[in-house]
Amino acid sequence: MARTSYYSTVVAAAAATIAVLALGACSAKKLAAATPNGSSAVSQSATNGSAPSSSPAIEPAVLSVSTRGATAVNPTDPIKVGVTGGEISAVTLTNAQGTAVKGVLSADRLTWKSAEPLGYAKAYKLTASATNSEGKTSTETSSFNTVAPNNLTMPYIQTAAGGGISPGVTFGVGQVVRIHFDEVIPDRKAAQAALTVTTVPAQVGAFNWMSGQDVYWRTKDYLKSGTKVTITAKAYGKNFGNGLYGQADASTWFKVGAKHVSVADDNTKMISVYENDKLIKTIPTSMGRHTSIPGDTGPIDLRTNSGPHVVVGGETQINMNSASFGLSKGANAYKTIVPVGVRISYDGEYVHWADWSVWAQGNTDTSHGCLNVSPDNAWWFYHWSQPGDIVDVRNTGRTLDVWNSGYWVASWASWQAGSAK
């Protein structure tokens, strides 16, 4: 009985131990099934003998600078700084004298760019700093030089006659603009690309190069009264060929006054004066005589030029001397002071006071090429006229040259042909 009881007790104990082991194995299988690699974190720690790995280190912010490795930087190109993996904390751009160049940092602090032009042939130093999310700082330094021109040229915005254009001045409907460069332009296309003329209301216009230094602009038809004309030359930083760069930018504007067009017909010897297409006055005149006379170097054609003349402006106490066009001696030579007149061409044609020819005005041509009118009519025309008006002379048998204020003599097609291609 005792032996049997002991054996039974041992068997029972062994069975209980097996049951516990079986239960432990079943629990381990359930935990293993819950982990991606088939083992628990606890089992891994026990197996590896170390703590779980930490997060990877954050990389420093990386700066990019547009002038890195650059030479002959154009002074109008903005200097740019960018960053990845952080934010820009500071940027300084200074010239050789230590003067800082203005710049703008974006709201998100990811980009910076210079906000003013640089100088020609100057040395600059840029230092930029950025921080990553852990506060670690990165710094980038760049030194560079701007382009060194062979020569510089300045654009001057003028009337076709060569006078400056003060902002807001009033001109007539026939005004033509000239941009004069003080150096001969090798690349006219590049220079013309730097020029813009805008009209409000919009009208069609075109450029015409009449010399290597002068480009003119006019509209297809006369300008409309009330138009605002703005001329801009963005020359600085532009290469006009052979290392010739623009010295500076220039800009101005003018407005167009009432439409003044006077038609001087040699068939009737009358000047019909129109304001805004309405006839307001008729003036008798004596134009250039239809004969040639001997001059200092050969015959001189005295006929007045036909074609639309662009009024240069009014003058008083005009010194008129026939020697200016090659007639210095003889019965036909003259030298006198004329009280008042309106100049309509560059070779000396005027609508002017001529009390000596009142008898011929309206019936006979007696002048050396000008339009003679009475003293009263001369003063009236002087006060009424404005630069850029049109005096359209007709039927004299001699044609006005384009260079001689005859810009409107040229057809639109021939005018456009003078544009840089």
DSSP state string for 398-418: -BPPGGGT-GGGS-HHHHHHT
One domain, residues 364 and 334: yes
One domain, residues 134 and 170: no
One domain, residues 186 and 202: yes
How crowded is residue 108: how many other Cβ atoms within 10 Å of its Cβ? 8
Q: What is the value of pTM for the model shown?
A: 0.83
Asked if the structure places residue 384 within a domain, the reply is: yes
One domain, residues 280 and 397: yes
Per-residue pLDDT of the chain (421 residues; tens, 9 = 90+): 444 443 333 334 333 333 332 333 333 333 333 333 333 333 333 344 444 555 567 889 999 999 987 889 999 999 999 999 999 999 999 999 999 999 999 999 999 999 999 999 999 999 999 999 999 999 999 999 999 999 999 999 999 999 999 999 999 999 999 999 999 999 999 999 999 999 999 999 999 999 999 999 999 999 999 999 999 999 999 999 999 999 999 999 999 999 999 999 999 999 999 999 999 999 999 999 998 999 999 999 999 999 999 999 999 999 999 999 899 988 889 999 999 999 999 999 999 999 999 999 999 999 999 999 999 999 999 999 999 999 999 999 999 999 999 999 999 999 999 999 8
Q: Which two tokens stand for residue 37?
A: 């690699």
Asked if the structure places residue 329 within a domain, the reply is: yes
Asked if the structure places residue 121 within a domain, the reply is: yes
One domain, residues 119 and 204: no
Beta bridge partners, 244, equal 151
Q: Tell me which residues are annotated as active site.
A: 352, 370
One domain, residues 178 and 281: no
Instruction: Please calculate the CA angle 188-189-192 and round it to the nearest 5 degrees.
Output: 80
Structural domain tally of the chain? 3
Asked if the structure places residue 30 within a domain, the reply is: no
- At residue 389, what is the residue type? D
One domain, residues 277 and 345: yes
Asked if the structure places residue 46 within a domain, the reply is: no
Which of 193, 223, 257 is where one domain is finished? Answer: 257
Q: Which two tokens stand for residue 203?
A: 């009208």
Q: For residue 173, give the CATH number of its domain.
A: 2.60.40.3710
Asked if the structure places residue 313 within a domain, the reply is: yes
Torsion of CA 28, 34, 39, 45, to 10 degrees: -100
Q: For residue 127, give the CATH number of its domain.
A: 2.60.40.3780
One domain, residues 323 and 385: yes
Q: Are strands 350-353 and 335-343 parallel, antiparallel or unpaired?
A: antiparallel
One domain, residues 327 and 340: yes
Asked if the structure places residue 55 within a domain, the reply is: no
One domain, residues 174 and 212: yes
As a whole number of angstroms, the distance between CA 178 and CA 218 comes to 9
Which of 101, 126, 145 is where one domain is finished? Answer: 145
One domain, residues 334 and 305: yes
Q: 176 lies in which domain range? A: 151-257
Closest to 396 (Cα-Cα) out of 279, 259, 304, 296: 304
User: In this predicted structure, what is the pLDDT of residue 55?
Assistant: 57
Distance (Å) of CA 72 to CA 106, 115, 142, 158, 346 = 27, 19, 14, 33, 44
Asked if the structure places residue 373 within a domain, the reply is: yes
Which of 119, 145, 171 is where one domain is finished? Answer: 145
Beta bridge partners, 337, equal 319
Torsion of CA 160, 163, 166, 169, to 10 degrees: -60
One domain, residues 364 and 305: yes
Q: For residue 288, give the CATH number of its domain.
A: 2.40.440.10
Beta bridge partners, 181, equal 155
